[in-house]
Structure 1
Amino acid sequence: MTRVLVCVQPARGHVGPTKPIVAALRAAGHEVAVVTGARYRRAFEELGAEVRVLPPEADFDETDLDGSIPGRAGLRGLKLARFELANFVRVLPAQLSVMDHDADVVLCDPLFMAGLALVRRADRPRLLTLGFLPFMPPVPTGPPPRGPADHLRGAVLKTLAPWVLGPAQQRARELLGGDPGMLFTDWPLHSDGVLQMTCSGFEYPRTEAPLHFIGPTTVSGAGEHPLPPWWDDLDGSRPVIHVTQGTVANDDLGRLVEPAIAALAGEDVLVVATTCGGRLRPGPLPPNVRVAEFLPYDELLPRCAAMVTNGGYGGVNHALRYGVPLVVVGASEDKREVAARVTWSGAGIGRARGSAAPRTLRRDVRAVLAEPRYRDRARELAAEMAAGPSMAEVVQLITAGRE
């Protein structure tokens, strides 16, 4: 039996892909403790794991970030990015306060900055990074340059990086009592491996990090999200286009969902939109649109011809698992990076911006449907994911040498 400590930020997009790993570890007879927020305590306890709730100063409510994280309200753009990065580091001591040192293996969220403290310890347990975000270290990162535009992009990132990352790096020095010896975001490079939840064809070629491509792990079946009354409309008579802004960024569906509905209103497709807690503007919907709050992806995605999304890493890889090509429009958090990977991998069209006009979305969806190269590439990535390790093999990878 291996003692595994799992450290995960209290956010749906982090918890969702972590739960199947915890369930598999428990099913294999291993002892699992989870450090996360109060909101997700029950979800992990139901899997048989011990849960240690983060102290209030390190916990937050992803549905009310401004209300649950002091100082965040009113910030936008790069100022918000600077604040959030510094805040990730600020809570490092509070995270460490609920982590014991008896674990054989630690699985750590890349944004859980206790990982930075752990990689510096000579006597630390085996430390693996949970790769449910695009792999970006060393920062700044990007695809292999193909021309002057890529070189210019790299130069701009290198110029901006010190300003954006500086406050967080200084806080890391203060909390750790000296220079951490690395950029605070780069600690996964010094872990014992990264369980990257995609396939190699969707990540830039890397030589610096011990990446283990395990494919997407999230499960989303009808048991979690019941089928709506109109489900039989997905009968294959028209291409199904799924539209979503992900599970969190739904305070304003006018950024993507509503423009996509307008863009596709006159097309010979069936638009299936999820609101995930958001609200559409009042008024009648076009006859080719169906709406639900949540839908089971393992039931929906095999029926889809394309997916329009703001670029959550988990949702994008869930689509690629089923060979669904993508139109991505997103710029917040890591979504700019996801959009870039969609374009780079050839599995769709990615736009690193906060929103897009209906005419742009209509053109992009038409292109993804009409040009076989997008679906062919998405299917190639699906085949690569299917050939990846089983969950039993992932468990063996985690517990290697500890049983």
Structure 2
Amino acid sequence: MRVLVVSAPLVGHVFPLVPLAVALRDAGHDVLLATGGGGLAAAGAGLPVHDIAPGFDFGRIALRVFPRHPLIARAELAGTAGTRGAGLLFGALNDQLTDPVVALATRWRPGLVLHEPFAVAGAVAAARLDVPAVRQENALFDGRDLVRATVARLGGALRRHGLSELPPPAAALAVAPPSVAAQGGWPMRYTSYVGGGELPAWLREPGDRPRILVTRSTLTGPGDRGPMPAVVAAADDVDAEIVLVRPDERSARSLPANVRVVDWIPLDEALPASAALIHHGGAGSALGALAAGLPQLATVGPGDRRHNAELVARRGAGLALRPRDITAQALTQLLTDDSLRAAAGQVSREIAAMPPPADLVARLAALV
């Protein structure tokens, strides 16, 4: 079976699709990953990758789209736009992606198309070829809502390919733990490719003090420095070892004695020896901490960050704070609040009970 995997050209969208793609490949199927931009780094997992977005610049799309919708743009920056801002951005993106994805699918002739919610170009290609499309969730929204918002802003892509509407998928794969968020579809355990980098030996074992890992987004906008500056400012008054992962230059310029710096690392391998994770509110970071059973502090911010952070806080597995509200007291609570750790452990066990990607391969093959 040939499987075309289609993703928006962004690291945080592509990497969660890789484990299932690898499982399909390892089961003997031919897999081709269609993406672009930073997502091309998924080739490091040993998958063939095709660039469907040469010269991709997400900022350029935002600058073209948002000035025409100032109220939605303002809400998107505050994290209160729901799916409206994402629909504008990814509708415009998919209008550009659809023609190259359909052309690729027509040449390669997959028997199955697997796509994430913000890559509806894959579903258009599947409809054109009359093959099954499967939506794979990679976030904490319900993918059905994301697809609807994207298709509503898709422009002329459907008409160009002879469609009046997007057919429903043959199946969907739900990765959110049900106690955190509701998604429709076959359950599948969340896991993600983490890219390159090597884990230093000292991060494989717990240190003398509890360790807090601090990460930042792979997609940043103007003035968006995430939680790192506030964590560094509070670090002197926290009894912990704090590790900044890929810090920006300003955050790493002058550090307290209990703060260390590392470059890109396989984060999933560092989490077991850590006590907590602080991050920008991205879905991958939130799900990674939940899978590891670690309390987390997620900052509320633009796009889906407020949504993700508030879901985690509502479940009791972490804190949702604005970066300027991060204090030594909050960091200490992250380490000492047993209720946070207990809730995170419950969700971790919930995720572990979901079928791993390899268990879905035969079920997907049966669709063809």
TM-score normalised over the length of structure 2: 0.81
**Aligned residue in 2 for 1:106:** 113
Query: Matched residues in 1 for 2:33 and 2:90: separation?
Result: 23
Query: Matched residues in 2 for 1:219 and 1:140: separation?
Result: 22
Query: Matched residues in 2 for 1:339 and 1:79: separation?
Result: 15
Query: Matched residues in 2 for 1:166 and 1:130: separation?
Result: 16
**Aligned residue in 2 for 1:336:** 306
Aligned residue among 261, 273, 279 for 1:309? 279
* Matched ranges for 1:3-402 at <5 A: 3-37=2-36, 40-41=39-40, 43-44=42-43, 47-49=46-48, 51-54=49-52, 56=54, 60-61=56-57, 65-66=58-59, 71=64, 77-78=74-75, 81=85, 83-91=88-96, 92-100=98-106, 102-115=109-122, 117=124, 124-137=130-143, 139=145, 168=153, 175=160, 180=165, 190-204=168-182, 209=184, 211-220=185-194, 224-228=196-200, 231=203, 235-249=206-220, 252=223, 254-275=225-246, 278-281=248-251, 283-351=253-321, 355-357=322-324, 359-402=325-368
Query: Matched residues in 1 for 2:157 and 2:267: separation?
Result: 39
Per the TM alignment, residue 252 of structure 1 is displaced from its structure 2 partner at its CA by 4.8
Query: Matched residues in 2 for 1:349 and 1:27: separation?
Result: 39
Query: Matched residues in 2 for 1:89 and 1:32: separation?
Result: 21
Query: Matched residues in 1 for 2:153 and 2:191: separation?
Result: 31
Q: Match of 1:265, SS?
A: helix
Per the TM alignment, residue 40 of structure 1 is displaced from its structure 2 partner at its CA by 4.9
In structure 1, the gaps of 5 or more residues are 142-160, 182-186
**Aligned residue in 2 for 1:157:** none
Per the TM alignment, residue 316 of structure 1 is displaced from its structure 2 partner at its CA by 1.4
Q: Match of 2:237, SS?
A: coil
344 and 179 in structure 1: CA distance in 2 versus 1, 3 angstrom threshold: farther
Conservation of the 8 A alpha-carbon contact between 1:245 and 1:253: no
Number of corresponding residues: 354
Query: Matched residues in 2 for 1:79 and 1:55: separation?
Result: 24
Per the TM alignment, residue 360 of structure 1 is displaced from its structure 2 partner at its CA by 3.6
327 and 240 in structure 1: CA distance in 2 versus 1, 3 angstrom threshold: same
Per-residue CA deviation, residues 285-330 of structure 1 (Å, 9 max, x unaligned), is 1011011122222321012211111111112111111100111113
Per-residue CA deviation, residues 143-175 of structure 1 (Å, 9 max, x unaligned), is xxxxxxxxxxxxxxxxxx9xx989826656765
Query: Matched residues in 2 for 1:364 and 1:321: separation?
Result: 22
Per the TM alignment, residue 361 of structure 1 is displaced from its structure 2 partner at its CA by 4.0
**Aligned residue in 2 for 1:152:** none
Query: Matched residues in 2 for 1:115 and 1:344: separation?
Result: 34
Q: Match of 2:250, SS?
A: coil
Q: Match of 2:323, SS?
A: coil
Q: Match of 1:32, SS?
A: strand
Query: Matched residues in 1 for 2:323 and 2:62: separation?
Result: 29
86 and 31 in structure 1: CA distance in 2 versus 1, 3 angstrom threshold: closer
The percentage of counterpart residues that share the same residue type is 25
Which letter maps to 1:77?
R
Q: Match of 2:234, SS?
A: helix
Conservation of the 8 A alpha-carbon contact between 1:238 and 1:268: yes
Q: Match of 2:275, SS?
A: strand
Per the TM alignment, residue 241 of structure 1 is displaced from its structure 2 partner at its CA by 1.1
Per-residue CA deviation, residues 194-218 of structure 1 (Å, 9 max, x unaligned), is 22333222213x5xx3x22212221
Per-residue CA deviation, residues 344-383 of structure 1 (Å, 9 max, x unaligned), is 22211224xxx422x5443433333232111111111111
Q: Match of 2:260, SS?
A: strand
What is the RMSD of the two structures over their aligned residues, measured on CA atoms? 3.5
Per-residue CA deviation, residues 74-108 of structure 1 (Å, 9 max, x unaligned), is 88534783651441342233432222283221101
In structure 2, the gaps of 5 or more residues are 78-84
Which letter maps to 2:170?
D
Conservation of the 8 A alpha-carbon contact between 1:110 and 1:129: yes
